[in-house]
Structure 1
């Protein structure tokens, strides 16, 4: 059974390790960077199975001083949104509904906080087909694209109604 719960400081080292494995699909994140993201986030939760943190999802609301080119893109277009900065599921738990459980919880959180739009991005160059399929299941639609990371990656900027 998957338990979704708020992140605690005790989870931070595990979260950094999970992120490091998926750095190419997300972006680098040190412990210091995680502490900053945690400060900005309104949603920072983990998925736990049998006492082990196997995934995390971190989302940031509109209106915080977060310096991120994708977050900035959404900030210029939407007054209110919840930006999924990153979701990572340990590879050995992929395909077991862990990510879907976190997204269902995130959407419920957004609705309970009167946030009507959830935003995110995923790589299209290089293509991340798993992320494209996953986000499609939750009703995400492309709102635009942009090149990031010194023009080494192109992302699809996505929106969904909560």
Structure 2
């Protein structure tokens, strides 16, 4: 199939498999400032705890989320656990630089919302950096219907974040 035809087709959203871990690790760590650095063992552990972990294409984008029952020690995840009895937390979503502008992040979130509803969950949560600021992420999450529900300074005062939630019912 010619490349021009292929580029117009939507790539499938697929479950993350063990064979994807090396590529996910590279993409994650290219964006460690926004996401946090992961070692291979930690990534494997987190994927084992994930409520929903999906990728698009060979690895144009990926998302990893956890529900309230996950064995996860992230201060952002724990902030939500302290306040919500049931939730799905978006821990990380990243789109490769060469794949930006294709709607991958929106597609991953929409698929997540559908999965969350089918699982009987009612709220999706996330955090966005306030310092350093991330205005693109702010606008993206607002367009998806997320609203701010709190904030915190974490990592010994090195980072400040704002917490967001979006109901999935309806």
Same fold (TM over 0.5): yes
Structure 2 partner of 1:92: 98
Equivalent position SS for 2:53: strand
Matched, 1:79 2:85: yes
For structure 1, the 5+ residue unaligned runs are none
Structure 1 partner of 2:11: 2
Distance in 2 (alpha carbons) for counterparts of 1:67 and 1:123: 18
- Deviation string 1:16-46 (CA, Å, 9 cap, x unpaired) is 1111111111111121111111111110110
Instruction: Kindly tell me the number of residue pairs found equivalent between the two proteins.
Output: 159
What is the TM-score with the length of structure 1 in the denominator?
0.95
Distance in 2 (alpha carbons) for counterparts of 1:142 and 1:91: 27
What is the TM-score with the length of structure 2 in the denominator?
0.91
TM-align CA RMSD: 0.8
Structure 1 segments (4+ residues) deviating >2 Å: none
Distance in 2 (alpha carbons) for counterparts of 1:92 and 1:107: 25
**Bigger strand share:** 1
Structure 1 partner of 2:144: 138
Distance in 2 (alpha carbons) for counterparts of 1:150 and 1:54: 33
**Bigger helix share:** 2
The structural deviation recorded for 1:65 is: 2.4
Structure showing greater relative contact order (alpha-carbon pairs closer than 8 Å, 6 or more residues apart): 1
Structure 1 partner of 2:133: 127
Matched, 1:13 2:18: no
The structural deviation recorded for 1:66 is: 1.0
Query: Which is greater in Rg?
Result: 2
For structure 2, the 5+ residue unaligned runs are 1-9
- Pick from 33, 40, 45 the counterpart of residue 54 of structure 2: 45
